[in-house]
Amino acid sequence: MNISTIVFIGLLIVALALFAKNVKTIIRNIKLGKDLDRNDQKGERFSLMAKVALGQSKMIVRPIAGLLHIVVYAGFIIINVEVLEIVLDGVLGTHRLFAPLGNLYTGLISVFEILALLVLVSCVIFLIRRNVLRIKRFFSAEMTSWPRTDANLILITEVLLMGAFLLMNATDTVLQNLGSEHYTQVGSFPVSIHLTNVLSGISEGNLIFLERGLWWFHIVGIFAFLNYLPYSKHFHILLAFPNVFYSKLTPKGQLTNMEAVKKEVEMMFDPAADPYSAPAEPQGDPERFGAKDVTDLTWKQLMDAYTCTECGRCTDVCPANQTGKVLSPRKILMDTRDRLVEVGKGIDKNGKDFTDEKSLLRDYITEEEVLACTTCNACTEACPVNNDPLSVIVDLRRFLIMEESKAPAEWTGMLTNIENNGAPWQFAQADRLNWKDEI
């Protein structure tokens, strides 16, 4: 086993170990959320996952961005099959291990090259859209320097990796033609063949150095990309599948009920009900109404936060945002993720009972944002990975109103009427059904 193979195996082990550690931390953070059963109707869930996560059905609502994204997505999935060969070559000290597959191998690498070119072009177009055309939704208030840099870093990395792959193949082709030792004869490929001209006049030794350098750059770049994902919005590449699988299957606009409140309301509407026959409260601290911090949210809401692509489609269709309100559904999920990461780091440093006297509400998300929402559900409908920012907003608002009695004066009157009269209007309960006599 030569030194190159030993170094490669070491890098592979370190890359996989770091990635596993980061993923374990994210899973731990998601599990800080409250329990929620989303294991029903598995057939429908798999079908939804195939349609939305795999089939990208919600991306093509915006055809240009959707088509470009599908190209990059398909390239990412399919070209990574080629990474398997590179990894095995690195571990075994071989070169083009799968070359004995003959025409099948040539066909696969040809497809990979065409996809690599398409991915490269798509990423360049995305960079132009973000940095030259400066599309408005990429420059909202919450899109500070880091989110914008994060998006650009990934796109630039993809361009470099695809470029390295194509130039590596071109160099390999020239070395094959020179009959260089170690370079398996597999012929040329449709894209890289057009790059061989730029390599003319370079000595064989320098070509070998270039090809090996590009090979190492490509695989080390992939290892770095793998371990950058958990720190980036691009972790949705992996989380989109489970996130869509555990989507809410009931009508998107249907709000969840809190059981304790639901029982009280049912009792209020039942004239035969005896309020004194209600079961006693369970022992221990009563359940909090709504959510103040990330640990009051469900694990699915926390998974939504990690899965957010920061594409801004939710904010783009939000009527509150369009009319100048401070609410941005994208910011709601970005803030939830940032707060969850902060809580997770605190636990890692100080133990599971860590508290920093901060909370998602107010320290990250303001009362004004929460109260601006119209609950129209446009954000949830627009999300390409089936996130539900509305549910987070509603739970934060429940805490404001039910725990702290903080609501606009107009809401307070309506809520008081519902509590006293069983209807939003100010008249006696005995008159609630008088409207039917006028029909």
CA neighbor of 78 nearest in space, from 119, 123, 19: 119
For 50, 62, 115, 241, the CA distances from 53, given in Å and listed in that order, are 6, 16, 20, 5
Question: In the prediction, which pLDDT does 414 show?
Answer: 87
> For 103-161, how does the pLDDT look when each residue is reduced to its tens digit (9 = 90+)?
999 999 999 999 999 999 999 999 999 999 999 999 999 999 999 999 999 999 999 99
Q: Is the pLDDT confidence value at 382 over 70?
A: yes
CATH code that applies to domain 259-275+286-431:
1.10.1060
Q: Residue 32: which of 340, 349, 380 has the closest Cα? A: 340
Residue of higher predicted confidence among 287 and 186? 186
Please report, for residues 184, 215, 319, 357, 366, the alpha-carbon distance to residue 326 in angstroms, rounded to integers and kept in the order given. 61, 48, 11, 25, 9
- Find, among 326, 345, 255, the residue nearest to 28 by Cα: 345
pLDDT in tens, 45-93: 999 999 999 999 999 999 999 999 999 988 877 777 788 889 999 999 8
CA 237 to chain centroid: 7
Mean pLDDT of the chain: 90
Averaged pLDDT, 238-242: 95
**Quick one: the chain helix, strand, coil %, rounded to 5?**
70, 0, 30
And the tokens for 3? 């030194």
Please say if the pLDDT value at position 97 is more than 70: yes
E strand segments, 31-178: none
Question: How do the domains of the chain map onto residue ranges?
Answer: 3-30+62-235, 259-275+286-431
User: Is the per-residue pLDDT at 281 higher than 70?
Assistant: no
199-233 residue pLDDT tens: 988 999 999 999 999 999 999 999 999 999 999 99
Check whether 427 has a pLDDT greater than 90: no
pLDDT value for 349 = 93
Helix, strand, or coil (residue 159): helix
- Express each pLDDT in 259-278 by its tens digit: 777 777 777 777 777 766 65
Q: What pLDDT was estimated at residue 276? A: 65
Question: What single string gives the DSSP state of each residue in 265-287?
Answer: HHHHH-TT--GGGSPPPPSSSPP
Angle, helix 204-228 to helix 3-30, in steps of 10 degrees: 20
Helix count (H) and strand count (E) of the chain? 17, 0
Considering the chain, what percentage of its residues have pLDDT values greater than 70?
97
Condensed to tens digits (0 to 9), the pLDDT of residues 169-201 reads 999 999 999 999 888 888 889 999 999 999 988
Backbone angles phi, psi at 93, to 5 degrees: 75, 25
Whole-number CA gyration radius for the chain: 28
Question: Does residue 286 surpass a pLDDT of 70?
Answer: no
Give whole-number Cα distances, 378 to 257, 295, 370, 389, in Å.
21, 26, 15, 10
- What local confidence, expressed as pLDDT, does residue 282 receive? 52
Please report the pLDDT score of residue 132 as a whole number: 95
Does pLDDT of 284 surpass 60?
Answer: no
Between 395 and 187, the higher pLDDT residue: 395
The burial class, CB within 10 Å (0-12 / 13-18 / 19+), for 339 is buried
424 confidence band (pLDDT: 50, 70, 90): confident
Q: Is 16 a residue whose pLDDT tops 80? A: yes
pTM: 0.88
Dump strand ranges (E) for 82-170. none
Output the pLDDT for position 297: 96
Reported as a single tens digit per residue, the pLDDT across 314-361 is 999 999 999 999 999 999 999 999 999 999 999 999 988 888 989 999
* Beta bridge partner(s), residue 349: none
Looking at residue 277, what is its pLDDT?
64
